[in-house]
Structure 1
Amino acid sequence: MQLRITSPVGGDAYDDVTYVSLWTSEGQIGVLPGHADLIATVVAGVVEIRSAVGTVRGVCGSGFLRIEHDVLYLAVEQWTADPAAMADPQRLAQIEAALAEAPGEATRSKLERERAFVQACRDAA
């Protein structure tokens, strides 16, 4: 199985993947080779990617997942294969402060998605 991750700032590609675990709006999902075709909404959380060369524990932001012909496509707002680098406690505090003063629903929604991503990075690190 192949995994293709894209975000506005980059992405990653993984070949010979044996298992992927991630979070959707319906809960956690595990994907093995041969999985049925699927489209789902992804929420911020840990993405575990297993292959013959090892395991990667990355973190994604919200987005969409599509599985088609043994290829898993993940289109997300944010992605990191190095959650420890993104797990900045000061950034989380800044987001919390900005949320307290957020002027509108759109700004608030964006900040809440950012907070979920940074929190997932902290949880994974």
Structure 2
Amino acid sequence: MSQQDKLSVKIALILALLIYGLSLLYLASFLHLSQVNGATVMVLATFVASVLLWIFVATDWSSLLAILALGLIPQVGVAKAASLSLGSTTFAFLFFTFIVTYALSQMTLLKRFT
């Protein structure tokens, strides 16, 4: 099994976990389970899937997937998830850091310094 195939399997399994967690909300409402808070299950599934994607795949696009998944939760909504994540100073700092890191990795000057 090649490295690309292993990565594809990991991504598929993690996304399946995310979809499973998101579907628990509909299962809880279908079975009329008042003890299970669907939003809590969805947030936990998003968190677990995001951490697994960060560990095994990458941190850039999986973070955006996590924001999108949180936006799909009815109690949170896309507008609130975007404003709390993309509108914060932490996001601006990380975005600037990623841009600088990419620019430095493309320059030969960084190789000379190291």
For the aligned pair, the TM-score class normalised by the smaller chain equals under 0.3
Q: Normalised by the size of structure 1, how large is the TM-score?
A: 0.24
Q: Rg: which structure is higher? A: 2
Kindly indicate whether structure 1 or structure 2 has the higher relative contact order, using CA contacts under 8 Å at least 6 residues apart: 1
Greater helix proportion:
2
Q: Normalised by the size of structure 2, how large is the TM-score?
A: 0.26
Greater strand proportion:
1
